[in-house]
Amino acid sequence: MAVRTSSESSHGRILVVDDDRRMASGLAQWLCGQGWHASAAGSPAEALQAVGRTAWTACILDGDLPGDGGRRIAAAVRSVAPAAGIVAVAAGRGAACDWADASLPRPANDQALLEALQAARAAGRTRAAARPDIPAATVLGSHPALRHVLDVVDRIARTPATVLVTGESGTGKSLLARAIHAASGRAGRFVEVACGSLSESLLESELFGHVAGAYTGATADRDGMFLRADAGTIFLDEIATASPAMQVKLLRVLQDMTFEPVGGSRTLAVDARVILATHEDLSALVTAGRFRADLFWRINVVTIEMPALRQRSQDIPLLAEHFLRAAAARAGRAVDGIAPEAMTALVRHDWPGNVRELQHAVERGVFLGRGPLIVPADLPAAVLAGAARRPVADGAGQAALKESLAAPERQLIVSALEQAGWRRDVAARALGINRTTLYKKLRRLGLDLATLEPAR
């Protein structure tokens, strides 16, 4: 008999950051034994890289990191997970860690740490609830191919349909999955599993959980991702990498949403929306005998193909400005924008790594740049080389390019104003800029609010 079980008992994902890697790894391992899905980072740079991989439930930070490392990491975690609870462990009383939701002196005992985590999570939820302006997952762009994708999302988001997202690596398949969940109205959480990064045995435990004693090191029961996704959405990335044995297990789960934890005998049942993604041609893999035909037809209910960035270059300025604002917040420095010649280079490059490559290029410009604008010298050499292979021939071409860069920015600002009820301060906050910068952009783009704003 299947037992319907809520995932409320699952603690979630936690990032442990300490410049003593052995200490961070030891604490992460202990937290795994307490039911957390814990990851360790041994430096601020490694932590910042880990931040963008998932929406963290909580973060334990070394409060004695050099410079402003703790504050920067805390801000980065909250930028992707506003409700995340931040705990600082520092020498003395930790009074300097005003950026944390809870602070502990070093060394912290186990019970005090668990209590601090509980308090930090409560503070994080309260903080997020007080900020209704936090946007849901958003796929940015106005290209017709992307508008078609978003139209399909709008039609199927509130249905239980299984969705297969295809497209080249870096096109934003994970973000689209989050957007579908955000629009679905499902009360549960969104959980993501990178199937290609785990061995078959670890993937089975990650998906279905395990009971204490199931294998060496399994000292406590641990919920799997399907259980955590009960009443929510589970996103299985790079599904083509699943082994034949795992494909059989997944087929059974997708058919009746029941499974047994590794080493367990009790059958659990969940209500989870399933979204899968791959950059490979699954139909070709079926023909080659590398992917089960019955599983392919089971997941091929609604297929959405994400367009490559080179196919929608008109969206590059909009995306670049978005990544710039996020990176500047993480870096803790003011960056006014991207110089026209740098933006020209971004638009001309063909982006084999797609949106992910663009994001990293803009982040590099923010982190390494010194001035108020990102200039070509701040961009990766590969971007400049790619841009040089696609020159703009004449003045007419330059003028057309300038207008193509302005159009998405103009659309973004008007959309923000409409959503804000034409309140300049609210729109500026949603765009991640101040009102002065918004007024400058309006003048530069030739936008007259007197003619745009509807009569009252």
Average the pLDDT over 23-41 and give the result.
87
Averaged pLDDT for residues 243-272 = 89
Query: Hey, is 301 helix, strand or coil?
Result: coil
* pLDDT the model gives residue 94: 46
Q: What's the chain's average pLDDT?
A: 82
Query: In terms of pLDDT, which residue wins out, 53 or 47?
Result: 47
Are 348 and 400 within 8 A, CB to CB? no
Mean pLDDT over residues 33-47, rounded?
85
Q: What is the DSSP letter of 372?
A: S
Window from 158-167, 208-217, 344-353, 390-399 with minimum mean pLDDT = 390-399
* Portions of the chain given CATH number 1.10.8.60: 311-452
Least confident of 180-189, 218-227, 243-252: 218-227
What is the pLDDT, as a whole number, of residue 237? 93
- State the pTM of this model: 0.61
CATH match for 144-307 among 3.90.76.10, 3.40.50.300, 3.10.20.30, 3.40.50.720: 3.40.50.300
Residue type, 24: A
Q: What is the DSSP letter of 5?
A: -
- 112 has a pLDDT exceeding 60: yes
Domain with CATH 3.40.50.2300 in the chain: 9-129
How many other C-beta atoms lie within 10 A of the C-beta of residue 241? 16
pLDDT the model gives residue 393: 46
**Distance between CA 321 and CA 96 in Å, rounded?**
33
C-alpha span between 356 and 378 (Å, rounded): 17
- The proportion of the chain whose per-residue pLDDT surpasses 90, expressed as a percent, equals 32
The CATH number of the structural domain formed by 311-452 is: 1.10.8.60
Per-residue pLDDT, 304: 96
Domain with CATH 3.40.50.300 in the chain: 144-307
Total Cβ atoms within 10 A of residue 409: 20
Q: Which of 410, 416, 443, 411 is nearest to 430 (CA)?
A: 416
The residue ranking higher by pLDDT, 417 or 379, is: 379
- Count of CB atoms situated within 10 Å of the CB of 303: 13
The CATH H-level (homologous superfamily) assignment of domain 9-129 is: Response regulator (3.40.50.2300)
Integer CA distances (angstroms), 377 to 392, 430, 454, in order: 19, 29, 43
